[in-house]
Amino acid sequence: MIKFTKMHGLGNDYIYISKVNEENVIAEEKLPELAKYLSNRHFGVGSDGIIIVEKSNIADFKMRIFNSDGSEAEMCGNGIRCFAKYVYENKLTKSKNISVETLSGIKYITMQEENGIVSNVTVDMGEPIFEKEKIPVLIDEKNFYKNVTVQNDKNKNKIPINFNLKVLDKTFDINCISMGNPHSIIIVENVDKIDIEKYGKEIENNSVFPEKTNVEFVQILDKENIKMRVWERGSGETMACGTGACAVAVVCNLLGLTKRNVTVLLRGGELNIHWKTENNRVYMTGSAKKVFTGKIEEI
């Protein structure tokens, strides 16, 4: 039997399984299939994926993320907020300030707690990544880049802004960056009118994205508020995406559409994103909720 806790950040829901203190012994090769099985909303628990809590040699904890299709993800903003709540409320740590090892590096977290319950969590999401090789995206620099000066950047990065991508019957202006995982941001007039399943899937799997991509459709409400829908790589449309909200906030500021401190409105709720001038790092603050705990037979 596997012990688990289901949690969500703005409706972006994951099943948390702890391997700390050998609470659950699961073979490494079984994790992708386990993610598919548990994530199934008809035959499993139902989620956007599973998150494994492990020990780390370089941080307080290690977080591993498996999407509902079994693929392993580098990072999840909503998932890591719930991860912090999980380790604190399960008494795996007494500190409200922790470090977490992920495939996109170590993330630093501060929790707001009252009477032993974590409500809001702030995550230092690190610096945005603009180099096309690191995102990665396969586009022709001379045709699709424009120079944008980035704070604390030794070179004037050539950032993939506003390149045209033909998708089925439409051509989209794509803006690409990475927050430890790849994001493609598209500014639209009304996010509610986008057929996200039709276009999101096609963009995610387009050949210009060798590691696929998350896709964010964005509507600018004003200088401090952004509305967003997201098609997540490996999961489809989700209620929210933390790394996506960070990526969107950075790109919208680079385009001169918003300030550096914004509220991102997602289907599942709101995130505050602050891209700080003094250190070029992006900070995300939002809620984390526990849904229920249980046990399930391993496949």
What does pTM read for this prediction? 0.91
Known active-site residue 252: no
CA-based torsion, 114, 292, 243, 267: positive or negative = negative
Catalytic-role residue among 82, 176, 241, 246:
241
24 pLDDT band, cuts 50/70/90, is confident
pLDDT at 146: 62
With a cut of 90, say whether residue 152 has pLDDT above it: no
- What value does the mean pLDDT take over residues 283-296? 96
- What value does the mean pLDDT take over residues 54-63? 97
Q: What is the pLDDT of residues 115-141, one digit of tens each?
A: 999 999 999 999 999 999 999 999 876
pLDDT at 142: 63
- What value does the mean pLDDT take over residues 18-35? 88
pLDDT at 173: 93
Give domain limits for the chain.
2-126+286-296, 141-280
With a cut of 90, say whether residue 150 has pLDDT above it: no
With a cut of 60, say whether residue 155 has pLDDT above it: no
pLDDT at 140: 76
pLDDT at 202: 97
- What value does the mean pLDDT take over residues 287-298? 93
Catalytic-role residue among 76, 82, 176, 252:
76
**pLDDT-above-90 percentage for the chain:** 87
Query: Distance between CA 290 and CA 32 in Å, rounded?
Result: 23
Mean pLDDT of the chain: 93
With a cut of 70, say whether residue 16 has pLDDT above it: yes
- What value does the mean pLDDT take over residues 240-260? 96
CATH class of 2-126+286-296: alpha beta
Query: For the domain with range 141-280, which CATH number is right: 1.20.120.550, 3.40.50.300, 3.30.930.10, 3.10.310.10?
Result: 3.10.310.10
**pLDDT-above-70 percentage for the chain:** 93
The β-bridge relationship of strands 158-159 and 236-238 is: unpaired
- What value does the mean pLDDT take over residues 213-238? 97
With a cut of 90, say whether residue 291 has pLDDT above it: yes
Fold agreement between 2-126+286-296 and 141-280: yes
Known active-site residue 246: no
